[in-house]
């Protein structure tokens, strides 16, 4: 996988900072130590940190300092991590390995894993409410919280997860699959970009164009995940491949064939770049991240 030097340095910088800040936010909480350990365990499990990268790249594209978005980026990654903790539970995907390590419930038990996920979700909103930069207005905070709540709630990620569960062992249409991918994966990716734009004081039209760009990006991300489940390296991915077939899930490769899925991936990439071209910003990092999502191997 080819990653240009500017993107590589950017990803390394923000990954290091986010992975330092997230545990520090948790450690300062006055709560049972086991709960903090379980929360931090999954936050430290690694990952690509794509959502923080998209948020901070959006800020940088508008010429704003990335430091303005660190709390927001941590909050979004906490919500993403909560969703993985709950997805891995026996009642959901029943996975024992996540990112090459035992899943949260295998280490701390089901009850603590549920509570750790609950805590990560709710604390993320508290973290956004505490953003204290002079450049952030109360109105912006309300917009940020609204974006985050809708993206992660019943009309967003949770709704997509429900549709995914109900779609198991069924032959889904492409429209149904798009609905699942849009909400289960895409909405939180979209929130990362729109929240970055809100923090950057973007205009309503700029936010709308970036939302359209992010919609295509979210579909790309999940299509690529579907492809990697077929032909990816389980060591690089950090979990066993082929689980979609074992769980009788409808995927892009299942519906369109592997070549068809790859063609659809590039179709959405072209659409994403068309929407991004409408926004008068430095597009370098966001274009590089778009290519990275398509070319990644894990």
pTM of the predicted model as reported, rounded to 2 decimal places = 0.92
Cα 85 to Cα 104, 183, 207, 252, 263: the distances in Å are 6, 18, 31, 25, 32
Burial class (CB in 10 A: 0-12, 13-18, 19+), 151: buried
Domains, the chain, with CATH or none: 5-295 (1.10.600.10)
pLDDT digits (tens), the chain, 298 positions: 456 888 999 999 999 999 999 999 999 999 999 999 999 999 999 888 999 999 999 999 999 999 999 999 999 999 999 999 999 999 999 999 998 899 999 999 999 999 999 999 999 999 999 998 878 899 999 999 999 999 999 999 999 999 999 988 888 999 999 999 999 999 999 999 999 999 999 999 999 999 999 999 999 999 999 999 988 766 555 555 555 555 567 899 999 999 999 999 999 999 999 999 999 999 999 999 999 999 998 7
């Amino acid at each position: 996988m080819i990653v240009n030097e500017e993107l590589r340095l950017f990803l390394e910088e923000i990954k290091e900072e986010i992975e330092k800040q997230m545990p520090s936010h948790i450690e300062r909480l006055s709560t049972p130590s086991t709960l903090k350990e379980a929360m931090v365990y999954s936050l430290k499990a690694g990952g690509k940190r794509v959502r923080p990268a998209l948020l901070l790249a959006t800020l940088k594209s508008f010429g704003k300092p990335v430091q303005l978005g660190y709390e927001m980026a941590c909050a979004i990654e906490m919500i993403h991590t909560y969703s993985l903790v709950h997805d891995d539970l026996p009642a959901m995907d029943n996975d024992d390995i996540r990112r090459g390590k035992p899943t949260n419930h295998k280490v701390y038990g089901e009850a603590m894993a549920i509570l750790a996920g609950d805590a990560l979700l709710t604390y993320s909103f508290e973290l956004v409410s505490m953003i204290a930069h002079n450049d952030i207005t109360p109105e912006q905070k309300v917009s940020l919280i609204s974006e985050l709540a809708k993206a992660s709630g019943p009309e967003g990620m949770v709704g997509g997860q429900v549709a995914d569960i109900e779609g198991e062992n069924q032959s889904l249409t492409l429209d149904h699959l798009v609905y699942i991918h849009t909400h289960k994966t895409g909405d939180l990716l979209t929130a990362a970009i729109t929240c970055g734009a809100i923090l950057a004081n973007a205009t309503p039209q700029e936010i709308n164009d970036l939302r359209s760009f992010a919609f295509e990006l979210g579909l790309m991300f999940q299509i690529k995940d579907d492809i990697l489940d077929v032909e990816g390296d389980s060591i690089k991915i950090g979990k066993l491949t082929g689980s979609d077939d074992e769980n009788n899930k409808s995927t892009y490769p299942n519906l369109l064939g592997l070549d068809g899925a790859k063609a659809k991936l590039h179709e959405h990439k072209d659409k994403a770049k068309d929407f991004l071209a409408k926004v008068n910003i430095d597009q370098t990092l966001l274009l590089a991240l778009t290519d990275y999502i398509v070319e990644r191997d894990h």
